[in-house]
Structure 1
């Protein structure tokens, strides 16, 4: 990096989503890119100190929520329909953050994801908002590529 060159943070509105490597854009909001773990208390009978050790326990990831303006694309509803009908349809989902030149800079991968909840738009006769749909994805692990 040249001296004096700016390092502006990336903008949160500049992202795309891919399902099994296929770009599926037009989402206005993504949340839940969270991973955490539990600690396990452990103590051996031969420990001299009277306290427990903290060991690394199981990892868990939050559900990913996606929101987008309602369009004629019914792929999310079809995917949800597969799950409802007992079809084991798990897919890998990638959220890609883009820089100002629309080039990928970070990727979050959610493995073996499936839609647990889907929500159609709310209607209001006096409103002028865009009709929004949302979907909640459950997955088996979140990783990041930098």
Structure 2
């Protein structure tokens, strides 16, 4: 683990509305929401036959929750192209999955108010398990059309090489 440099000037926690998502070496346009990064480790209970009524606990399997990305519907087809690698309607029978590249590693970057990356997470071997190309369409509504992809994730970790940057300051006149 890396050494952390504490910014003595920063008092407030980071906000949740400044972030970027990156895959295939480039930032994905227009992502407006990323669901929680969460992992759960099962508890395995065991006891010895001679013990009274107590049990011991040990960690079991660890699972990583799926991550959902949302963005407004535009002509950009990044979500759809990735979803089509998992199941493509136009493929020949038995060839619906692009086995060579349907999984991607992605990066989620949290930024401070100045737009500097302050925390970064790497998500590994992700693939699209659900794809919503259009929401319910309603002529009486006044909302943005949202597309969604649900990503199955095999693991994630914080990138400790990303350290807290020196925050900019305005010069007083």
Under a length normalisation based on structure 1, what TM-score does the superposition of the two structures give?
0.89
- Stretches of structure 1 lacking an aligned partner (at least 5 in a row): none
Runs of 4+ with deviation above 4 angstroms: none
Alpha-carbon contact 1:122-1:132 (below 8 Å) kept:
no
Q: CA deviation at 1:115?
A: 0.5
Q: 1:6 to 1:79 in 2, by over 3 A?
A: closer
Count residues in correspondence: 143
Alignment of 1:118-133 (within 5 A): 118-119=131-132, 120-133=134-147
Q: CA deviation at 1:6?
A: 4.2
* 1:13 matched residue in structure 2: 17
* 1:26 matched residue in structure 2: 30
Alpha-carbon contact 2:28-2:78 (below 8 Å) kept:
no
Alpha-carbon contact 1:69-1:130 (below 8 Å) kept:
yes
* 2:54 matched residue in structure 1: 51
Alpha-carbon contact 1:40-1:55 (below 8 Å) kept:
yes
* 1:81 matched residue in structure 2: 84
Structure 1 residue 70 and structure 2 residue 70: aligned?
A: no
Under a length normalisation based on structure 2, what TM-score does the superposition of the two structures give?
0.76
Structure with higher Rg: it is: 2
The separation in 1 between residues aligned to 2:150 and 2:68, in whole angstroms, is 4
Alpha-carbon contact 2:18-2:110 (below 8 Å) kept:
yes
Q: CA deviation at 1:124?
A: 1.4
Q: Secondary structure at the match of 2:86?
A: helix
- Stretches of structure 2 lacking an aligned partner (at least 5 in a row): 1-6, 88-95, 161-173
